[in-house]
Amino acid sequence: MNDQPVPQSARSEPAELAAASDQTPAVELLGIGKSFPGVVANDDISLVLRRGEVHCLLGENGAGKSTLMAILAGMQQPDSGRIRVAGEDVRISSPRAALALGIGTVYQHSTLIGALSVIENLLLGDSRALRLDVAGARQRLAEFSAILGVQVDPDTRARDLALGGQQQVEIIKALWRGSRVLILDEPTSMLTPQAVHELQSVLERLTQHGLAVVFITHKLHEAVALGDRISVLRAGRLTGAIDREQIKASTPEQLEAAIVRLMFGDALDTDEEIAELQLGVEGHRRTRQADAEVALSLEHAHARGDGSQPGIEDVSLTLHLGEVLGIAGVDGNGQRALAEVISGQRRLTHGEIRFLGAPVGSLSIAAREKLGLRYVTDDRLGEGIVGAMPVSLNLVLKRIGQAPYWRHGRIRRDAIDRDARALVERFDIRTPGIHARAATLSGGNIQKVLLARELSFDAKVVAFHKPTYGLDVRTTRTVRRMIGELRNGRAALVISTDLDELLEVSDRIAVLSRGRIVGEVENGPGAAEQVGRLMISDVSLGAAPLPEPLAGRV
Amino acid sequence: MTESLSLAAEAAGVLDAQPDRPGGGSPRSRRVNALRDAMMRSLVPVLLALVAGGVLLLVLGDNPFAFYGNIWQYGISQGSWEDSAMRAAPLLLIAVGLIVVFRANIWNLGYDGQFLLGAALITGVAPHLERLPNALSLVILFAVAMAAGGAWTIIPALLKARYQTNEIITTLMMSFIGIGVANILVKGPFQDPTVNIPQTRVIPFDHMLPPIPGTRIHAGVLVALGVALLAHYVLTRTSFGLRLHVLGANPRAAAHMGVDVRGLIVRAFLISGALVGAAAAADILGVWGYVRANWNPAYGDTVIPFVFLARLNPLAVIPFIIFFAVLSTGGDLAAAQANLSTDFLLVLVALILLFMTVIEFLGRRRDLGGSYLTPGLRAALRQPLVRRRAGAASSNEASR
């Protein structure tokens, strides 16, 4: 079905989107089972996706959401169970087969090619045709834009689009060959609140046109706000489903409580704990002693950016022992440069960094690490771990060549294994064993590996970059608790684009905008509004070009 | 028994994590599995290539059994194994030199230039050292060749370290230049004035590498074996080896972890070039004694498949190098007897490469232990395969 070359179908399909009110479910997953070594990812899961509905799939990291969707998208084959599309049994043997069946997927991370224009990216899907029908594609893009209610310039290069815009193009790409089912994998994790709002209206329009949408998330409030139907997965099993009527009949608070219970089940002892998970922990904030020693200070620090990412200019910050300093700002305003300047991965062009009074601006990464200045990177998979290496080695990778793990240049596996076991235990890293490849762990556990590495071995000051980005509720809570514990004689700098997180963990919040610190706010009542104003104040001056994430939308 | 098993399993798995497979069982049975998989991946392509080569011989009207029998006869029996052993020395040194950089995902393909420059310089310097004691002159000549090989990698190394210039291109370019410079040296300053053909002076026999007592085999073979053992120790047990491994597996992580990436790239290149230079020294001082213009044995090209068959393991590569040394020593004569060009041996090497690719592809689907390739290279190579397979599957789907 639906496998004709695109030019012929180009005109008909978007129109077709409007005409669908069949009662047959778009997709039925029946008794799906899938095991990986040591893990049952999906255990007898049945799911019905109906036309005109947003079906939220909710669960912690590692609950099996992604595996289930990978099966539907043709990336994985189930060990057992059946899949029916439009009432017929099918085998989805490849992503292309899934597309041919009308199942399109938008992955969490962009699959667009930055150097190509929007229209070229979309034409990539038609590469089987000898001659590219550019004019037809433009018209088709216009039709899709109208259906989605968005503006997409076909000639913008993909890399110049804001993340929200890129995602719109990804959605169009997934629908390009006439898909009737759209899978969105954690679509909001990279987006600003405004872009999330836009996505919401796009989804509404799509369901009005009779598409079935699967929305994978681990954020409760999104599921409650967006879902026509919510299914909850836990440890590979479907632990509950909430249908349309229930959603309509309950208040958001009741729904969230019900979902939390389904997500975490008996593991939670008390209602208080549930309430805590729902609302997020209120930080146990203490007023810092006025005479506390300065742990880390940046003095008129300058550093270059890379590519489209800005550097930092004239940044001065002071962090005292026993304090948590938050750095707020819209993503892409110099956060990475700031973090890397502190870790030593990026050189200062001007200024100085002092660690417990001593200048460290010219010290190497390894030297700073040894002093106790640590960095928990936001790019966990890209640079935080070596996926092909075992968990045990990943835990000591920043101490290569140092005692007690190396002696006279020779590795001491027994010492590494012993301490790795202790760290796995202490940080509650869920892994099949300390010799399992780090890449096989779930996102939350990979973050725990990073935390175990950076917070151990006499850490004194720790810089966190988006520490809970992409993590499930429970790991998020653990991470924030660990940040809070650093107040105990140590100090933390938390760079985050999540303002709620900063309000929860920080004592003070500085605002980073276009590479500069534009203000600092003592955390407390009214801090959110002040920080929010600072975040946008600099932009509205309009004198300089807008930072990239905003530029695409104006 | 357990000792040798664990050594072999180490040879198979190096520092990588144990492959996760269901029913992994005890560490011991996992080791047996790892060993079996390693054997499967390493030996099957060689055996298949020999079988396919036999079929080819049949088609050409030759008796494959006679051909392979001749290889055995001229490559192993009646003392010809000593020739094979000597042929193995430069091959093994080059193989180890390549393994050091390949592990770091750095592709030094300039081995021909590095080798010939080292060889030419030895023959040029040797006549000036004839008054020195033999041992001292040998050490100096090895050092000269290693310095030449190492020096020839400096430009690609610095370009890669500083500007991330693709080293495949730069090392190949430097290789062409190196071959040319070596030829100029051989025909010019190092030309033996007493002969009319373009070649260097012949190093006197008593200034070459001494034979191992009781054999004709020169001491360079022992040097090569020692280097392989040392390299294995360094790569698997030391911090330097782990840094190389991290750089190869994830260069961004290497930078994040505080590894001096630029310095490491340069050092890895220098070691690689020096080992290729040492191969030249072992070959010239052990076997040839002179260099003739336009001589290029291209050892590196024949070694590369075996480097990957051994999965970048300096110990595991030894048997493969021995195998190829026997094949080429015996094969020269066997091919002559069968009225074949000696290039038939290259056909066999190419067949090994072909079957490696097939096994690699099947192994992906059947989970046959670790791959020959480093993760970066694997990802690059896999992409077109995945797409093609996906395409084939969907056209099946459509035709139903």
**Residues from chain A contacting residue B260 (CB–CB below 8 Å):** 364
Q: Is the pLDDT of residue B209 over 50?
A: yes
Higher pLDDT, A256 or A13: A256
Query: CA-CA distances (angstroms) from residue B77 to A31, A111, A117, A494?
Result: 64, 59, 66, 72
Cβ partners under 8 Å of residue A172, min gap 6 = A122, A141, A144, A145, A148, A152
Angle at B45 between CA B44 and CA B48, to 5 degrees: 85
Summary mean pLDDT of chain B: 84
Instruction: Characterize the bridge pairing of strands A237-242 and A229-234.
Output: antiparallel
pLDDT for position B28: 67
What radius of gyration do chain A's Cα atoms show?
25
ipTM of the complex as predicted: 0.76
| Residue whose pair of structure tokens reads 């099947």 in the numeric block | B362
Summary mean pLDDT of chain A: 81
pLDDT for position B397: 42
Q: Is A408 exposed, middle or buried (0-12, 13-18, 19+ CB in 10 A)?
A: exposed
A–B CB contacts, 8 A cutoff, strictly below:
120
Nearest to A314 by CA among A547, A516, A509: A516
Q: Is the pLDDT of residue B279 over 60?
A: yes
Please, which residues 13-42 of chain B have a Cβ atom closer than 8 Å to chain A?
Answer: 15-18, 20-22, 24
**Residues from chain B contacting residue A345 (CB–CB below 8 Å):** 255-256
Q: Is B163 exposed, middle or buried (0-12, 13-18, 19+ CB in 10 A)?
A: exposed
**Residues from chain A contacting residue B398 (CB–CB below 8 Å):** 1, 3, 100
DSSP A442-475: -HHHHHHHHHHHHHTTT--EEEEESTTTT--HHH
Mean pLDDT of B161-168: 93
pLDDT for position A160: 77
Alpha carbons A167 and A181: distance in angstroms, whole number: 16
CATH superfamily of A6-16+24-278: P-loop containing nucleotide triphosphate hydrolases (3.40.50.300)
Alpha carbons B334 and B62: distance in angstroms, whole number: 11
Q: Would the CA dihedral through B331, B335, B338, B344 be positive or negative?
A: positive
The answer to whether residue A246 neighbours chain B at the CB level (below 8 Å) is no
pLDDT for position B380: 58
Specify which residues A374 forms β-bridges with.
Answer: A462
CB atoms within 10 A of CB A99: 24
Mean pLDDT of A422-433: 90
Cβ partners under 8 Å of residue A444, min gap 6 = A60, A61, A62, A471, A472, A474, A475
Q: Is the pLDDT of residue B10 over 80?
A: no
Q: Is the pLDDT of residue A288 over 70?
A: no
How does residue B5 score in pLDDT terms, banded at 50, 70 and 90?
very low
End-to-end CA distance of chain B: 55
Query: CA-CA distances (angstroms) from residue B393 to A74, A98, A216, A381, B365?
Result: 11, 11, 27, 31, 15
Which chain A residue has the Cα nearest residue B16? A389
**Residues from chain A contacting residue B238 (CB–CB below 8 Å):** 406, 409-411
**Residues from chain B contacting residue A344 (CB–CB below 8 Å):** 258
pLDDT for position A38: 61
Q: A439-459 pLDDT, tens per residue?
A: 888 888 999 999 999 999 889
pLDDT for position B268: 97
Alpha carbons B126 and A191: distance in angstroms, whole number: 69
CATH number at A293-372+459-554: 3.40.50.300
> In this predicted structure, which of A288-302, A378-392, B188-202 has the lowest mean pLDDT?
A288-302
DSSP A543: S
**Nearest Cβ partner for A401 among B239, B394, B398:** B239
Higher pLDDT, B151 or A431: B151
Please, which residues 502-531 of chain A have a Cβ atom closer than 8 Å to chain B?
Answer: none
The answer to whether residue A372 neighbours chain B at the CB level (below 8 Å) is no
pLDDT for position A312: 92
Contact state of A388 with B249 under an 8 Å Cβ cutoff: yes
Cβ partners under 8 Å of residue B315, min gap 6 = B11, B228, B229, B232
**Nearest Cβ partner for B258 among A365, A385, A387:** A365
pLDDT for position A297: 93
| Residue whose pair of structure tokens reads 């491994």 in the numeric block | B245
Q: A255-271 pLDDT, tens per residue?
A: 777 777 777 665 555 55
**In contact, B98 and B108? CB cutoff 8 Å:** yes
**Nearest Cβ partner for B256 among A74, A101, A345:** A345
Q: Is the pLDDT of residue A368 over 70?
A: yes
Q: Is the pLDDT of residue B257 over 50?
A: yes
Contact state of A383 with B252 under an 8 Å Cβ cutoff: yes
**In contact, A60 and A79? CB cutoff 8 Å:** no
Q: Which long-range contacts (CB under 8 A, 24 or more apart) does A523-532 make?
A: A523/A285, A523/A326, A527/A503, A528/A499, A528/A503, A531/A328, A531/A499, A531/A502, A531/A503, A532/A499
**In contact, B119 and B248? CB cutoff 8 Å:** no
Nearest to B122 by CA among B222, B226, B207, B180: B207
Nearest to A498 by CA among A480, A521, A516, A475: A480
Alpha carbons A124 and A116: distance in angstroms, whole number: 10
Which chain B residue has the Cα nearest residue A386? B250
Nearest to A353 by CA among A311, A304, A318: A318
Backbone angles phi, psi at A19, to 5 degrees: -100, 85
**In contact, A449 and A385? CB cutoff 8 Å:** yes
How does residue A61 score in pLDDT terms, banded at 50, 70 and 90?
low
Q: Is the pLDDT of residue A495 over 90?
A: yes
**In contact, B103 and B271? CB cutoff 8 Å:** no
Angle at A299 between CA A294 and CA A302, to 5 degrees: 140
**Residues from chain B contacting residue A383 (CB–CB below 8 Å):** 250, 252-253, 255-256
Q: Is the pLDDT of residue A423 over 90?
A: yes
DSSP reduced 3-state for A500: helix
CB-side exposure of A240: number of CA atoms within 13 Å?
A: 12
Please, which residues 159-178 of chain A have a Cβ atom closer than 8 Å to chain B?
Answer: none
How does residue B87 score in pLDDT terms, banded at 50, 70 and 90?
very high
**In contact, B355 and B44? CB cutoff 8 Å:** yes
Query: CA-CA distances (angstroms) from residue B331 to A41, A144, A253, B80, B354?
Result: 54, 66, 81, 12, 20
Backbone angles phi, psi at A90, to 5 degrees: -135, 165
**In contact, A548 and A332? CB cutoff 8 Å:** yes
Please, which residues 74-133 of chain A have a Cβ atom closer than 8 Å to chain B?
Answer: 74, 91, 93-97, 99-101
CB-side exposure of A427: number of CA atoms within 13 Å?
A: 26
Q: Is the pLDDT of residue B8 over 50?
A: no
Nearest to B223 by CA among B279, B269, B263, B179: B279
Q: Is the pLDDT of residue A16 over 60?
A: no
pLDDT for position A339: 94
**Residues from chain A contacting residue B389 (CB–CB below 8 Å):** 94
Could you tell me where the beta strands, DSSP code E, fall in chain B? none
The answer to whether residue B245 neighbours chain A at the CB level (below 8 Å) is yes
The answer to whether residue A440 neighbours chain B at the CB level (below 8 Å) is yes
Alpha carbons A358 and B167: distance in angstroms, whole number: 40
Mean pLDDT of B108-121: 96
Q: Which two tokens stand for residue A218?
A: 């681990």
How is chain A split into domains, by residue range?
Answer: 6-16+24-278, 293-372+459-554, 384-457
Instruction: Characterize the bridge pairing of strands A27-36 and A212-217.
Output: unpaired
Nearest to B274 by CA among B393, B130, B152, B179: B152
Query: Are A6-16+24-278 and A293-372+459-554 the same fold in CATH?
Result: yes
Nearest to B341 by CA among B332, B350, B349: B332
Q: Is the pLDDT of residue B298 over 70?
A: yes
Q: Is the pLDDT of residue A100 over 80?
A: yes
Q: B344-398 pLDDT, tens per residue?
A: 888 888 898 888 888 877 766 554 445 666 666 666 555 555 444 444 444 444 4
DSSP A331-382: TTSSHHHHHHHHHTSS--SEEEEEETTEE-TTS-HHHHHHHTEEEE-S-III
Backbone angles phi, psi at A57, to 5 degrees: -110, 115
Alpha carbons A97 and A88: distance in angstroms, whole number: 15
pTM, rounded to two decimals: 0.70
**Residues from chain A contacting residue B242 (CB–CB below 8 Å):** 393, 400, 411
Alpha carbons A168 and A161: distance in angstroms, whole number: 10
**Residues from chain A contacting residue B22 (CB–CB below 8 Å):** 35, 37-38
Q: Is A127 exposed, middle or buried (0-12, 13-18, 19+ CB in 10 A)?
A: exposed
The answer to whether residue B216 neighbours chain A at the CB level (below 8 Å) is no
Distance from CA of A323 to the nearest CA of B (A): 25
CB atoms within 10 A of CB A325: 25
The answer to whether residue A439 neighbours chain B at the CB level (below 8 Å) is no
Alpha carbons B338 and B331: distance in angstroms, whole number: 10
Q: Is the pLDDT of residue A9 over 60?
A: no
Distance from CA of A6 to the nearest CA of B (A): 15
Which chain B residue has the Cα nearest residue A367? B258
Distance from CA of A35 to the nearest CA of B (A): 10
Cβ partners under 8 Å of residue A479, min gap 6 = A447, A451, A467, A468, A471
Nearest to A101 by CA among A137, A162, A61, A49: A49
Instruction: Characterize the bridge pairing of strands A406-407 and A373-376.
Output: unpaired
Contact state of B394 with A99 under an 8 Å Cβ cutoff: yes
Q: A135-182 pLDDT, tens per residue?
A: 888 988 988 888 888 888 888 888 777 777 888 888 888 888 888 899
Which chain A residue has the Cα nearest residue B399? A1
Domains of chain B: 2-378 (1.10.3470)
Alpha carbons B145 and B275: distance in angstroms, whole number: 9
Q: Is the pLDDT of residue A503 over 90?
A: no
The answer to whether residue B389 neighbours chain A at the CB level (below 8 Å) is yes
CB-side exposure of A58: number of CA atoms within 13 Å?
A: 32
